[in-house]
Amino acid sequence: MALVFEEAKAKIIEFITSKAKMKSKFYFNDFTALFPDEKGRDVKKILTQMINEETLVFWSSGSTSMYGLSGAGKHADGED
């Protein structure tokens, strides 16, 4: 079944918000687990669209990448 953007987006935001007290950054696999019947590439398209509309942001240590809600979590001074 193809993912509907708005529905998938709401589910992703709800998931991130429900974990907000514990953590602010999530692995890609955390999102594929939300949609067990969908292909990883389809989930990626939703996440990319959410990045492009600036709902989500990438976080990177340099070696690993994660996704988080824009503005969530602690940031260094000057970190956008």
Partner 1 sequence: MAKHKTPLLDQLESGPWPSFVSDIKQEVAHRYANPKGVDFQIPAECPDDLLGVLELSYVEGETHWKHGGIVGVFGYGGGVIGRYCDQPEKFPGVAHFHTVRLNQPSGMYYKTDFLRQLCDLWELRGSGLTNMHGATGDIVLLGTSTPQLEEIFWEVTHNMNNDLGGSGSNLRTPACCLGESRCEYACYDSQEMCFNLTNEYQDELHRPAFPYKFKFKFDGCSLGCVAAIARSDMSFIGTWRDEIRVDQKTVAAYVGGEIAPNAGAYAGRDWGKFDIQKEVVERCPSQCIRYEGGKLEINNKECVRCMHCICVMPRALKIGNDRGCSILVGAKAPILDGPQMGSLAIPFIKVDDDYAGVKEFIEATWDWWMEEGKNRERIGETLKRLGFAKLLEVTGTKADPRHVKEPRHNPYIFWKEEEVEGGWQREISDYRSRHQK
CB of 53 to partner 1, least distance (A): 11
CB 37 within 8 A of CB 1: yes
Q: Is 15 in the site for partner 1 (CB under 8 A)?
A: no
Rounded Cα distance, 60 and 22, in Å: 19
Rounded Cα distance, 28 and 43, in Å: 9
Candidates 1-9, 12-20, 69-77; binding stretch for partner 1 (CB under 8 A): 69-77
Candidates 1-9, 10-18, 21-29; binding stretch for partner 1 (CB under 8 A): 21-29
CB 26 within 8 A of CB 68: yes
Which residues of this protein are in contact with partner 1, per CB under 8 A? Answer: 27-29, 32, 40-41, 44, 47-48, 51-52, 57-65, 68, 75-80
